[in-house]
Amino acid sequence: MNKKFLEDLIECPSPSGDEMKIQKLWIEEMKPFADEIRTDFAGNAVAVLNPDAEFKVLLAGHCDEIAYMITHIDDKGFISVTKAGGINPKLALGSRVRVYGKEMVKGVVGVKAEHKGGEKGEINVEDLIIDIGATTKDELKDIVSVGDYILYDVDYDYLRNDLLAARALDNRSGSFIVAEVLKALSKEKLNVGVYAVSTVNEETNMGGAYFAAATIEPDMAIACDVTFATDAPGSDPKKEGTVTLGGGPVLAKGAQINFKINDMLKKSAEALEMPIQLELTPRTTGTDADKMRFTGKGVPVALVSLPLRYMHSPSEVVSLKDIQNEIDLMVHMIKSMTGNENLKPLE
């Protein structure tokens, strides 16, 4: 596992709708390993192995992150925002932020002092005020403007027991994992074509996944995303299932998941003596898998997820062991494929 590459991805700003900087970083990393590098009209970055193979496997991990967008700048230079993705305004109060205008500037999210009664009741995104130290709107005209993105001013730290805390592990980790899978497979003789895709826009509309699958026309697709770990205080395993950090990759089971792909993943886990976990997705997965499934004539899909604590917060937490296990699992499965797999459930 190339931890430096993961750290670089985390540090790179990638708000949903403006992912080009991180995609360029991802492409440069993948050039030495891929037979082909492709892009598309959505902004997806695609690394390909064995492009002449008839059977095509698509691996999708989205690179975009939740963010705020500037909606208004008042006469005193205070900034109002809206959401780009499912970001929680309660967590913003008192936080430091980075505003990505014509240049990156630092700011803070204002909060009422406890001495003055503190913040009361529900906090909506319209209630947030960003202070970048300006005194007038006019002084910002060549620096920031409506539509610019704002991210939390945090990157990453390592915790005990090989845990990683960072901004936007949902889903830097997935973009990283599909890249590392392709790197490992580049050393192997394959019977299938492999298309590792760093997808865009998942947090807002999942359009990147649709463009990727519609263009590549894969025979199967696996979304690599994150899921809710239920091993921290406040979780209810009776309602949410049991998913633990360090407990292994998580396979989804539900109406949209192709059980034959899951069976292949389970066989690889058994061969590797690797623990795997299960999450239930009875209707939809809420990931790129949902969009990829409905492209073309229909694509058999699976979802392999990384257990994650504190989703959509400034400090999400995952296990490095789980990341490596997910990489190893998919490498083993794809290496084992013949290219003649029949994924029709009734055959």
Catalytic residues: 202
Which amino acid, one-letter code, is at 23?
Q
Q: In angstroms, what CA-CA distances link 137 with 109, 126, 145?
A: 17, 19, 10
Q: Is the peptide bond before 325 cis (omega within 30 degrees of 0)?
A: no
Q: Return the closest-CA partner of residue 64 out of 81, 86, 90, 47.
A: 86
Q: Return the closest-CA partner of residue 127 out of 180, 158, 81, 96.
A: 81
In this structure, the number of other CB atoms found within 10 A of the CB of residue 283 comes to: 10
Burial class (CB in 10 A: 0-12, 13-18, 19+), 138: exposed
Residues in the chain: 347
In eight-state DSSP terms, residue 192 is S
Instruction: Return the exposure string of 243-258: e unless at least 16 CB atoms fall within 10 Å of the residue's CB, then b.
Output: bbbbbbbbbbeeebbb
Contact assessment for residue 256 and residue 301, using Cβ atoms and an 8 Å cutoff: yes
Contact assessment for residue 193 and residue 186, using Cβ atoms and an 8 Å cutoff: no
Q: In angstroms, what CA-CA distances link 346 with 195, 258, 259, 343?
A: 27, 11, 11, 9
